[in-house]
Amino acid sequence: MATSDGDTDPDSAEVTSIITGAEFARDLFLAEYRTLRDEILKKMDHRTSLVVCSVTVSSAVLGFGIDRKSASLLLVAPLVSLLLGILIVFYNMQIGVASEHLRTRYEKPMSRRFQGFTGWHEGMGDPAVRLLQRLVPYHLPLILIATAPVIVAVPLAVSLGDTFTSGIPVLIVVVGLLVVYVVELLRNRKLL
């Protein structure tokens, strides 16, 4: 950077020498890797909290709706479970994107350069294979946590007859959320 008298700014030269050095690159590399790993772990914790919240709230609301024979109250459970299910898919997608970034930008180049090195994300294998391996023990329960309240609450609400008419607007929202949930699942299936 030039100063007003035409000389080069000494601070600028110092900054340039620092950021072009190998030590700076290494520190930046490690900082980004650690930050992304921490972010993944935090998102995994948030996702777990959302799952617990979804199960708890949906179960409680279903219980109250059945006890009070209220179609509108019954339909609140699918609203909650689907909204939280969409957030869980979003967190899974963010975790998948960060994991894939670490796998392709950090771990694969390291394993090519250093014989015997295998990073965590690279060691987990191909994401498409992981999806199939985790389908029954992981993905199916998450899908059921989001959709089971729909499967239970909608027929119960409809069976209440006359009281169901007040729940029609809520049912329309539930169906819309179910469509959004399924679309997001299918759209992000490679990252889950």
Residue 5, pLDDT > 60, answer no
> Is pLDDT larger for residue 20 or for residue 177?
177
List Cβ neighbours of 164 (8 Å cut-off, separation of 6 or more): 71, 157, 158
pLDDT of residue 41: 96
Stretch 93-108: mean pLDDT, rounded? 90
Count CB neighbours of 92 within 10 A. 22
Which of 8-22, 126-140, 145-159 is predicted with the least confidence, judged by mean pLDDT?
8-22
List Cβ neighbours of 90 (8 Å cut-off, separation of 6 or more): 184
User: For the whole model, what pTM was predicted?
Assistant: 0.82
Cβ neighbourhood burial of 102 (10 Å; 0-12, 13-18, 19+): buried
Mean pLDDT across the chain? 86
pLDDT of residue 117: 81
pLDDT of residue 109: 87
Stretch 67-89: mean pLDDT, rounded? 94
Residue 126, pLDDT > 60, answer yes
Cα–Cα separations (whole angstroms), residue 5 to 9, 10, 87, 98: 10, 13, 57, 47
Is 104:166 a contact under the CB 8 Å cutoff? no
Residue 72: pLDDT band (50, 70, 90) is: confident
pLDDT of residue 1: 47
- Point out which residues pair with 8 in neighbouring strands: 2
Long-range contacts of the stretch 155-158 (C-beta < 8 A, 24+): 156/65, 156/66, 156/74, 157/65, 157/71, 157/72, 157/74, 157/75, 158/71
